[in-house]
Amino acid sequence: MSEVQTRPRVEIAALLKESVVAALVALGLTVVMVGMKTVDQPGGLGLEYRWNWVAAAVASVFIGRFLFALWRETRPRHAAERGPSRQQRMLTSGGDFIRKFGLWFSLFALGFAIAMPFLGGPFSTRYFIDVATYVTIYIMLGWGLNIVVGLAGLLDLGYVAFYAVGAYAYALLSTHFGLSFWVVLPLAGMMAASFGMMLGFPVLRLRGDYLAIVTLGFGEIIRIILLNWYELTGGPDGISGIPRPSFFGLDFSRRVPENGDTFHTFFGLDYSSMHRIIFLYYLILALALITNWFTLRVRKLPIGRAWEALREDEIACRSLGINPTNTKLTAFSIGAMFGGFAGSFFATRQGFISPESFTFIESAVILAIVVLGGLGSQIGVVVASVVLIGGTELFRGLEEYRMLTFGALMVAIMVWKPRGLFSFRRPTVILEGKKIVGSQAGEGSG
Amino acid sequence: MLTLEGVQTYYGNIEALKGIDLEVQQGEIVTIIGANGAGKSTTLMTICGLPRAAEGRIRFEQYDITRMPTHEIVQLGIAQSPEGRRIFPRMTVLENLQMGASKSNPDFFEQDLAHVQELFPILKKRENQRGGTLSGGEQQMLAIARALMSRPRLLLLDEPSLGLAPLVVRQIFEVIEQINREDDVTVLLVEQNAFHALKLAHRGYVMVNGRITLSGAGDELLDMPEVRAAYLEGG
Ligand SMILES: Nc1ncnc2c1ncn2[C@@H]1O[C@H](COP(=O)(O)OP(=O)(O)O)[C@@H](O)[C@H]1O
Ligand SMILES: [Mg+2]
């Protein structure tokens, strides 16, 4: 094989033709969707034409397509043949990075996450901590769903149902019975887990697309029940006045009760509304880290290995004596439990919940985080949450473009890393000398 | 040890097994040979309850396993290296072996691991490599080793020689003979490679279109003209 990398001759005419076709398609699509807008006029609806917008769209598609095609044609051809095969590379996408720096990256991320509220500057602002809390909720949800989708390979499009169950469990138990957050948290987790079982039973025999459709339906059923069971859930009005969590019994209020302490008097601090914000941030960080710790541990136990084996080959699992029913049900219910924890946190942080917070788009976002991060990768979930949730949060000012950014990020990741950002799977055991040791918990504690 | 009586198995409306009678005695190597689509794999899978027999009886030792769930059958001491190997591609060799041992006493793990690595030394070298990156022969060895990790008394092997170089086939067949002789593992071997299989086996069955048409001692079958014509010459 010749060592010379010939730059292929570029057929400009062909590229132009390709770009014209793309531009024509864009024209066809935008004439109606962008070019015409209905406006309220005296005497009914009228049309407003925006041909300059159409021109801009078509021109940018033309130029974009041309540049893309040019890049595609001029890129060195032999590179792919020399390196590892595409398949091989896809199997280990991000592998080198994780192998070499995984532990350091995780430790750094963890250190940063813990120190963040005290770093000063922009990091300690209320806005930044709020965003970080929000991102961490999604990290936790991503880690929870990762058990079901990433490890056990069960595609679940209704994960938000368990988030909702956890949130309503806390909201109802605390507003009606005055139970505290710490009492309700395990209850909410148990409730979500039993809903996970409920979902698990009917879908035991389903795989792939069928499983996805049923789980999607399950998520919608839960939301619609919440919406219509007015006496219990308040329907679309939701539940408000949900109590805030306390710090081991110390409230974060400004007003000090007659005979007692609040957080700031107990620690001799001046009152600041930031205390609660920071406390909530640490609370979700701790919950998320527990989720991660659990996953890293369970992967090395027989049940965790059975999940992964089930994802790889169900028939083989059965013929090795693994009971697929139990394996699937535990995956669903444990994944659901962490969703329930996150839901309780969400309810206590917001102080108000309604079915609007638990729509399908939430399930889709959480699933996107897991898939884009690289199925089964714990670090991947962190990076994908920061990029997708944090990224779109930064664009909140540009309200209309928020979903557009979200979509663009997803497409970009899928083009660039079709198997997710980090699809390297760290073995759960390695042999050193004669002894079996667990492999280092490098993959993502952060 | 294992008996099948009048076993019929369906895939939807297709009758894949049309009443199979078959017996395996403790300590034997028994082979089932037959052309593609004859129902050999279906026979092995039916023994494990995947799919379940519609008619007939399957007994293993004193148990009637016809209606037993697969995972319980396996726990009685039957292990299968299924058609197409079905190793776990993203898991390492060691993790694959661990999966094989998941229903046996963990105290035996290191000892059993050492044993299968002695049978297949290449698996020790490849220990931390992902299953999917092994060669075909290595994957087959892994599939057998994984089945052995559950300490079976009866081992079901589905076409272990498929697509492998003659040298590798010889090595695998030697190991089969060794575990039968030294570890007292009874073997039911499905093969298209009729010559090697009949040489190795004590007894054999010939299967055509979901029925057993011939049976007898391995060398007897090898000498039968109809077997020679259909499965050995030119094939
Ligand atoms: N999963 C399946 N669904 C439907 N038909 C099947 C399935 N597996 C095998 N068959 C059919 O059952 C018959 C026996 O197949 P099989 O047991 O795989 O044969 P062999 O292993 O002897 O080549 C064939 O006709 C095959 O087409
Ligand atoms: Mg077959």
- The string of pLDDT tens digits covering residues A286-333 is 999 999 999 999 998 989 999 999 988 988 998 888 988 899 999 999
Q: Residues of B with CB below 8 A from A429's CB?
A: 92, 94-95, 98
Tokens (6 digits) for A45: 């609806």
- Cα separation, A410 vs B63, in Å, equals 55
| Distance from the alpha carbon of residue B199 to the mean position of ligand 1, in angstroms | 26
Mean of the per-residue pLDDT values for chain B? 92
Q: Residues of B with CB below 8 A from A425's CB?
A: 90-91, 130
Does the C-beta of B14 come closer than 6 Å to ligand 1?
yes
The per-residue pLDDT for B55 is: 93
| Distance from the alpha carbon of residue B158 to the mean position of ligand 2, in angstroms | 7
In order of their start, the domains of chain B are 1-77+153-162+183-235 (3.40.50.300)
- Which among A309, A323, A436 has the least Cβ separation from residue B91? A309
Please give the average per-residue pLDDT across B24-41, as a whole number. 93
Higher pLDDT, A61 or A403: A61
The per-residue pLDDT for A437 is: 52
Higher pLDDT, B8 or A438: B8
Does the C-beta of B82 come closer than 6 Å to ligand 1?
no
CA terminus-to-terminus distance, chain A = 46
Interface test mutation site (partner A, options B45, B52, B90, B113, max chain A beta carbons within 10 A): B90
For residue B189, give the 3-state DSSP assignment: strand
pLDDT tens figures, B108-150: 899 999 999 999 999 999 988 999 999 999 999 999 999 999 9
pLDDT band for position A80 (cuts 50, 70, 90): very low
Q: What percent of chain A has pLDDT over 90?
A: 35
- Cα separation, B134 vs B132, in Å, equals 6
The per-residue pLDDT for B17 is: 95
The per-residue pLDDT for A444 is: 37
The DSSP output letter for B1 is -
Pick from A427, A410, A419, A367: nearest CA to A161? A367
Please give the average per-residue pLDDT across B206-226, as a whole number. 91
Contact B95 A323 (CB under 8 A): no
Tokens (6 digits) for A54: 């159409």
The per-residue pLDDT for A292 is: 95
Nearest 5°: phi and psi at B61?
Answer: 50, -125
Task: Give the chain B residue nearest A311 (alpha carbons).
Answer: B88
Task: For residue A264, count other CB atoms closer than 10 A to its CB.
Answer: 18
Residues 6+ apart with CB under 8 A from B27: B180, B184, B186
CB-CB contact of A418 with A410 (8 Å): no
Contact of A300 with chain B, judged by CB distance below 8 Å, is answered with no
The per-residue pLDDT for A90 is: 46
The per-residue pLDDT for A51 is: 87
pLDDT band for position A431 (cuts 50, 70, 90): low
- Cα separation, A446 vs A386, in Å, equals 12
Contact B75 A436 (CB under 8 A): no
Provide the strand spans (E) within A329-428.
352-353
Mean of the per-residue pLDDT values for chain A? 83
pLDDT tens figures, A380-399: 899 989 988 887 777 776 66
∠A314-A320-A322 over CA atoms, to 5°? 65
pTM of the model: 0.80
Please give the average per-residue pLDDT across A351-372, as a whole number. 91
Does the C-beta of B32 come closer than 6 Å to ligand 1?
no
Q: Is the pLDDT of residue A415 over 90?
A: no
Higher pLDDT, A162 or A425: A162
Residues 6+ apart with CB under 8 A from B67: B49, B52
pLDDT band for position A442 (cuts 50, 70, 90): very low
∠A224-A194-B73 over CA atoms, to 5°? 125
ipTM for the predicted complex comes to 0.87
CB-CB contact of A222 with A355 (8 Å): no
Task: Select from B14, B206, B211 the residue to mutate for testing ligand 1; criterion: most ligand atoms less than 8 Å from CB.
Answer: B14
**Least reliable range by pLDDT among A159-163, A209-213, B68-72, B176-180:** A209-213
The per-residue pLDDT for A1 is: 44
Q: How far is CA B56 from the centre of its chain?
A: 21
**Considering only CA atoms, which residue is closest to atom 2 of ligand 1?**
B11
Q: DSSP alpha helices (H): ranges in A386-439? A: 391-394, 402-416
Higher pLDDT, A372 or A398: A372
Contact of A319 with chain B, judged by CB distance below 8 Å, is answered with yes
Q: Is the pLDDT of residue A193 over 90?
A: yes
Provide the strand spans (E) within A42-78.
44-49
Nearest 5°: phi and psi at B80?
Answer: -130, 135
Interface test mutation site (partner B, options A205, A319, A435, max chain B beta carbons within 10 A): A319
Q: Which ligand is nearest to the CA of B158?
A: 2
Pick from A331, A329, A346, A330: nearest CA to A140? A346
The per-residue pLDDT for A374 is: 81
Q: Is the pLDDT of residue A433 over 60?
A: no
Q: Is the pLDDT of residue B92 over 80?
A: yes
pLDDT tens figures, A131-179: 999 999 999 999 999 999 989 989 899 999 999 999 999 999 999 998 9
Contact of A169 with chain B, judged by CB distance below 8 Å, is answered with no
The per-residue pLDDT for A439 is: 47
Please give the average per-residue pLDDT across B186-203, as a whole number. 92
Domain boundaries, chain A: 5-83, 94-244+271-416
pLDDT tens figures, A92-135: 445 566 666 778 888 898 999 998 888 877 888 888 999 999 99
The per-residue pLDDT for A95 is: 57
Q: Residues of A with CB below 8 A from B88's CB?
A: 308-309, 312-313, 316
Q: A86: number of CA atoms within 13 Å, CB side?
A: 6
Q: Is the pLDDT of residue A52 over 60?
A: yes
Task: Give the chain B residue nearest A309 (alpha carbons).
Answer: B88
CB-CB contact of A96 with A241 (8 Å): no
Task: Select from B41, B52, B190, B209 the residue to mutate for testing ligand 1; criterion: most ligand atoms less than 8 Å from CB.
Answer: B41
Pick from B137, B142, B63, B150: nearest CA to B101? B150
The per-residue pLDDT for A32 is: 83
Which bin fits A253, alpha (ψ -120 to 50), beta or left (φ > 0)?
A: beta
| Identity of the residue numbered A246 | S
Contact of A84 with chain B, judged by CB distance below 8 Å, is answered with no
Q: Residues of A with CB below 8 A from B90's CB?
A: 91, 308, 312, 425
Task: Give the chain A residue nearest B88 (alpha carbons).
Answer: A312
Q: Is the pLDDT of residue A375 over 50?
A: yes
CB-CB contact of A446 with A105 (8 Å): yes
Contact of A426 with chain B, judged by CB distance below 8 Å, is answered with no
Q: Is the pLDDT of residue A89 over 50?
A: no
Q: A266: number of CA atoms within 13 Å, CB side?
A: 15
For residue A425, give the 3-state DSSP assignment: coil
Which bin fits A120, alpha (ψ -120 to 50), beta or left (φ > 0)?
A: left
Q: Is the pLDDT of residue A81 over 70?
A: no
Task: Give the chain B residue nearest A319 (alpha carbons).
Answer: B80
CB-CB contact of B128 with A351 (8 Å): no
| Atom of ligand 1 lying closest to residue B42 CA | 17
- Cα separation, A133 vs A130, in Å, equals 5
